[in-house]
């Protein structure tokens, strides 16, 4: 059974509709890539899953439970951990405080997060706003892990980072995948890095999920049609 399932989801920002029918499923321990060009509804889909967008239509179930009526913090507590786009930490809090404020009991604790990102331990007392972009991204991932999620959602996790730092982040995500007890939904535009990690792919085009299948089946034609510039 899927951990997360979206069934014919539609959503709108006020009068302007953004999603016209999205189907998506993430299984236990599975890594799914959500792809598509800019403005096709990737971030809106994430907002619907995290309950940040009011009144979407269709059905969203998490662990068999319909979450379409839940407040956002309840959805997070069920085990949906979001790493938001643009490395959004609490910039006025220190690195340690960012992690501490989000902590919930479970397998992920300070030790485990520090093992994944040793840099966060070194920078513990520094304010999150003074970190480099890559370090802020590590903190955003660390913070989501501290909530002990069952599903980790990475929204454009490596956008705008230097190649070396990108590599570091992808290595960490690979480590998370290898541990096997976390489902991951990753939103990104670069196929090269996703290819190594994602099991399956869902492609959005103008607010509709137009293609889904295994990463291996993603042919050149499909790429050109939906992902090419």
Partner 1 sequence: MMRERHLNMIILALLVLVPAYALWADEPFTITLATRAVIFALAGVGLNLALGQGGLVSFGHAAYFGMGGYAMGILASHAQSYTPIMESPFLIEGTNSMPVIWLVAIITSALLALLIGALSLRTSGVYFIMVTLAFGQMFYYFTISWPAYGGEDGLSIYVRNQFPGLNTLDPIQFYGICFVILCLVLFLVNRLNKSPFGLALMGAHQNEERAVTVGINVNRLRLVAFVISGAITGLAGALFADLNRFVSPTMFSWQISGEIMIFIILGGVARLFGPVVGAALFILLEHVLGGLSEYWFVYLGAILLFVVLFAKGGIIGQLSKKESGHEG
Which parts of this chain interact with partner 1 (CB under 8 A)? 50, 52, 71-73, 76-77, 81-82, 84, 88-94, 97-98, 100-104, 125-130, 143-144, 146-147
| Complex with partner 1: residue 143 or 166, whichever CB lies closer | 143
Torsion angle (degrees, nearest 10) of CA 2, 185, 170, 125: -110
Instruction: Give the pairing of strands 208-214 and 200-205.
Output: antiparallel
Min separation Cβ 98 and partner 1, Å:
8
Contact 56, 127 (CB under 8 A): no
* Residues of the chain by 3-state class (helix, strand, coil), percent to 5: 40, 30, 35
What separation, in Å, do the N-terminal and C-terminal C-alpha atoms of the chain show? 35
| Complex with partner 1: residue 94 or 174, whichever CB lies closer | 94
Task: Calculate helix-pair angle for 133-146, 163-179, nearest 10 degrees.
Answer: 20
| Complex with partner 1: residue 186 or 227, whichever CB lies closer | 186
Min separation Cβ 48 and partner 1, Å:
13
| Complex with partner 1: residue 73 or 192, whichever CB lies closer | 73
Min separation Cβ 143 and partner 1, Å:
6
Min separation Cβ 81 and partner 1, Å:
8
């Amino acid at each position: 059974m899927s951990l997360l399932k979206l069934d014919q989801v539609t959503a709108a920002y006020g009068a302007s509709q953004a999603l016209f029918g999205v189907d998506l499923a993430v299984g236990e321990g599975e890594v799914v890539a959500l792809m598509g060009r800019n403005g096709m509804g990737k971030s809106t889909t994430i907002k619907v899953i995290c309950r940040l967008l009011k009144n979407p239509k269709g059905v969203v179930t998490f662990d068999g439970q319909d979450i379409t009526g839940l407040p956002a913090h309840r959805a997070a507590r069920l085990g949906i951990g979001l790493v938001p786009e643009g490395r959004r930490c609490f910039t006025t809090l220190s690195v340690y405080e960012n992690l501490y404020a989000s902590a919930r009991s479970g397998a992920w604790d300070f030790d485990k997060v520090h093992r994944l990102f040793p840099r966060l331990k070194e920078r513990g007392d520094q304010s999150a706003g003074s970190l480099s972009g890559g370090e802020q991204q590590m903190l955003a991932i660390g913070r989501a892990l501290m909530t002990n999620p069952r599903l980790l959602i990475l929204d454009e996790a490596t956008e705008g980072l230097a190649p070396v730092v990108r590599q570091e982040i992808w290595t960490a995500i690979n480590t998370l995948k290898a541990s096997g007890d976390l489902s991951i939904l990753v939103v990104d535009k670069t196929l090269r890095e996703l290819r190594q990690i994602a099991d399956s792919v869902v492609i959005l085009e103008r607010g509709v999920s137009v293609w889904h299948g295994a990463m291996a089946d993603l042919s050149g034609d499909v790429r050109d049609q939906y992902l090419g510039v």
